[in-house]
Each structure stands twice: as structure tokens, then as C-alpha cells.
A and B are shown apart, each in its own frame.
Chain A
């Protein structure tokens, strides 16, 4: 079953602009994670935010989590062409570490 829903499905911006994408989910979570996937490759872990955290930063990434609304957002500041990729949110729902993924947001950053 698909837990997360990302919005928008696609995003096109210019270098230097900020990119924001949102994720909504349905059930209680242990944590929420964001991953990046370059075309046709495996996923790379970007950032993890625990259910008792509200905001987290890592370099040019900022993640927020609102458990009352069951939603999260990922902000990429000062985008670069190398940020062109698909971004997925994933919720960890049990102690085994199973992740449920959304369909992803495809981001294109043009120079």
C-alpha cells in the first residue's frame, strides 16, 4: 500500500531558486525519510526526521514534520543543476524498519 503522497508530481525551476515539495501520509510513523533518485539509479538517503521532531536541517536541505496534519515538506535552497532528480518521502511504520514510499516528485533544475 502507498503511504505517502508527494506534491507536486513534477517541479521545474532555475538554478538558484528554492524547491519545495510536500508529503502527506496516513498512519502513525516512527520517522519520515527523504530519498533522492537520479535517473535509473538506486535511491540515496537524504535526511531523516523522527516523529517527535518538527524541523531538521542538513546543508541546503530543510525538512519539517507536522504529525497532527500527517505531513512533511522538503525544501532545497539555492538549487543547482545537479539537484535534478526524483525525490521520495518514505515513512517508517514499524520496528523492522519497513518503509512505505510515495510516488515521488520529479525535480528539474535548469542552468
Chain B
């Protein structure tokens, strides 16, 4: 079974802090994605990566950056956390059959 893990289930940070969310997949997938999920809005794509060191902006990249130094690891960085970044963050990797496999999510609260 494909496994996608995220570094934390719950995280509480203060406004202005730099926040790192890590995601690791174990199936050698090329493409990885970061989404945020907010009530009533579904999932929105923040960034995605199609190879090591390659990244593309999604629909809502403002305030975020990403890093993919190794194929299995895709990190989301909040350069200076703000309260409007309080959300559920979901990482996914995509298989050759187009399915996406999701991690359990990180619920981030910025106070």
C-alpha cells in the first residue's frame, strides 16, 4: 500500500513564525501536491511538484513556498505565518494511474 505521511497531525504557531510542514511518500511517485482545506471551500491547490527541485504554483500560492530536494519528500513552508493560514493542510502524491494518495493532514492553528 502507498503510504503518505505528514510530520504533524496538529500544530499551533504564533503569527510571524516560519512554519515547515513535511510530507513523505514511499512509492517513488513523480508528482506531489499541497492543498489546504477550509470549510465550505473544499480543497485548494497551493503548490505542486513534478520532479526533484521542480515546482509550480497552484491556485493559492501567496504566503507559501515549497521545497523538494529528494523525490520522496515535499515540504511546505509558511514564511511568516498569519492567522488566515489557519487551516487543514493535506499532502498528496500521484500514481501512474492518476489516483492521488493523501496523507492524514496537518491541522495548523496560527494565533
Write the residues of chain A forming the contact surface with B, with a CB cutoff of 8 angstroms. 1-2, 4, 30-31, 33, 35, 40-45, 48, 88, 90, 92, 96-104
Give Cα A22–Cα B63 distance, bound, in whole angstroms: 34
Of B4, B41, B98, most buried by chain A (CB within 10 Å of CB) is B98
Contact present for B42 and A48 (CB under 8 Å): no
Q: How many residues of B contact A (CB 8 A)?
A: 29
Contact present for A101 and B43 (CB under 8 Å): yes
**Which one of B33, B42, B100, B103 lies within 8 Å of A2 (CB-CB)?**
B42
* Tally of A-B Cβ pairs under 8 angstroms: 67
Given known A1-B59, A2-B42, A88-B43, contact A97–B105 (CB-CB < 8 A): no
Give Cα A42–Cα B98 distance, bound, in whole angstroms: 17
The answer, yes or no, to whether B25 is at the interface (CB within 8 Å) is no
Given known A41-B105, A42-B4, A42-B104, contact A104–B99 (CB-CB < 8 A): no
Within 8 Å CB of B59, what residues of A?
1
Given known A48-B99, A99-B45, A101-B42, contact A42–B94 (CB-CB < 8 A): no
Contact present for A42 and B102 (CB under 8 Å): yes
Instruction: Give the interface SS of chain B, mostly helix, strand, loop or mixed.
Output: strand
| 0/1 string, B27-61, CB within 8 A of A gives 1 | 00001010100001111110010100000101100
The answer, yes or no, to whether B90 is at the interface (CB within 8 Å) is yes
Give Cα A92–Cα B98 distance, bound, in whole angstroms: 9
Contact present for A42 and B105 (CB under 8 Å): yes
The answer, yes or no, to whether B107 is at the interface (CB within 8 Å) is yes
Of A33, A97, A100, A102, most buried by chain B (CB within 10 Å of CB) is A97
Q: Which 9 pairs between the two chains have the least Cβ-Cβ distance?
A: A42-B102, A101-B42, A101-B43, A103-B42, A43-B102, A45-B99, A97-B94, A42-B104, A42-B105
